[in-house]
Amino acid sequence: MKKVLVIDDFADNVFILQDRLEREGYEVITAYDGFTGMQKAFDELPDLILLDVMMPDISGFEVCKRLVADERTKLIPIILLTALTETENIKEGLDAGAYDYIKKPFNRVELVSRIKSAIRYSEANKIYLEIEKIKLFAATIVTANHEIKQPLTLINICIAAIKRELRNENISKDNLYNRIEYIEKATAEIISILDKLSAIKKPVITEYINNLQMIDIRGKEENQGSSSSTADNS
């Protein structure tokens, strides 16, 4: 059952909206002022918010701005209920982040239609975001595999070289120290790669091969200057 939060300081409006929405199969949460409405939005995370514009404690425009700015509620569509019909008022509401607006007195058919449209938009947006998360996760795996494979290969080669050296009668400490230094450098490179991945705030996705994608963790200069010749030193 979809959940709708109604915020309106006029009790009769709330009653009418609740009655109509419950008849349509929605669960309705009510609030009679802006601050209470915001708190219920944070607590309940409804699928849609119907928000009155003209309220005494805080305007619907300001409530809308705060809800859209908050990470918890920014994706919840907000429909403004307003008796204001001037173009600048409508523009102010849409600029505040509202998905849509309905002029009072509202028509039942129009109200239900706008609500269904807003919820469909919200559901499509959520699906899109989930797909983007999956793509980002896959790109992260590809990136980690690509970037870490080379230093791991170097570590394995160095370990094999150390084992061979240890089987010699005359062990060369210099050779052992050289291999250990390569292992230390490769380990530091892996840690650096993981640190870069974990520090990314806005990932840049680039094409890799076979329709796979990667996250760009290197700047242009670093990409141009990077070399893959370290394994030859072993």
Contact 85, 56 (CB under 8 A): no
Domain boundaries, the chain: 3-106, 131-233
**Contact call for residues 55 and 11 (beta carbons, < 8 A):** no
Mean per-residue pLDDT, 77-96: 82
* Dist CA 212 CA 97 (whole Å): 35
Tell me the range of 69-73, 78-82, 165-169 where mean pLDDT is highest: 69-73
pLDDT digits (tens, 9 = 90+) for 90-131: 788 888 899 998 888 878 888 899 999 999 988 888 888 888
- Tell me, what's the pLDDT at 42? 97
pLDDT-derived band at 225 (thresholds 50, 70, 90) equals very low
Mean pLDDT of 70-84: 90
At 85 the pLDDT is 67
- The whole-number average pLDDT for the span 127-153 is 85
179 compared with 231, residue with greater pLDDT = 179
- The arithmetic mean of pLDDT across residues 61-84, rounded, is 92
d(CA 79, CA 7): 10
Residue 216 has pLDDT above 50, yes or no: yes
Place 229 in a pLDDT band, splitting at 50, 70 and 90: very low
Return the top range by mean pLDDT from 62-76, 121-135, 141-155, 193-207.
62-76
Whether 232 shows a pLDDT value over 60: the answer reads: no
**Tens digit of each residue's pLDDT (9 = 90 or more) over 22-57:** 999 999 999 999 999 999 999 999 999 999 998 988
Q: Is the peptide bond before 203 cis (omega within 30 degrees of 0)?
A: no
CATH number for 3-106 (one of 3.40.50.2300, 2.60.40.1530, 3.40.190.10, 3.30.160.110): it is 3.40.50.2300
pLDDT for residue 153 is more than 80: yes
At residue 2, the pLDDT reads 93
For residue 18, pLDDT over 90 is answered with yes
Spatial CA neighbour of 40 closest among 13, 10, 76, 15: 76
Q: Write the DSSP assignment of the chain as a string of letters.
A: --EEEEE-S-HHHHHHHHHHHHHTT-EEEEESSHHHHHHHHHHH--SEEEEES--SSS-HHHHHHHHHHSTTTTTS-EEEEES---HHHHHHHHHTT-SEEEESSPPHHHHHHHHHHHHHHHHHHHHHHHHHHHHHHHHHHHHHHHHHHHHHHHHHHHHHHHHHHHTSSS--HHHHHHHHHHHHHHHHHHHHHHHHHHH-SSPPEEE-STT-EEE--S-HHHHHH----GGGG-
What's residue 219's pLDDT?
56
Q: What is the mean predicted confidence (pLDDT) over 66-89?
A: 87
Distance (Å, whole) CA 234 – CA 229 = 10
Mean pLDDT, the chain, whole residue set: 85
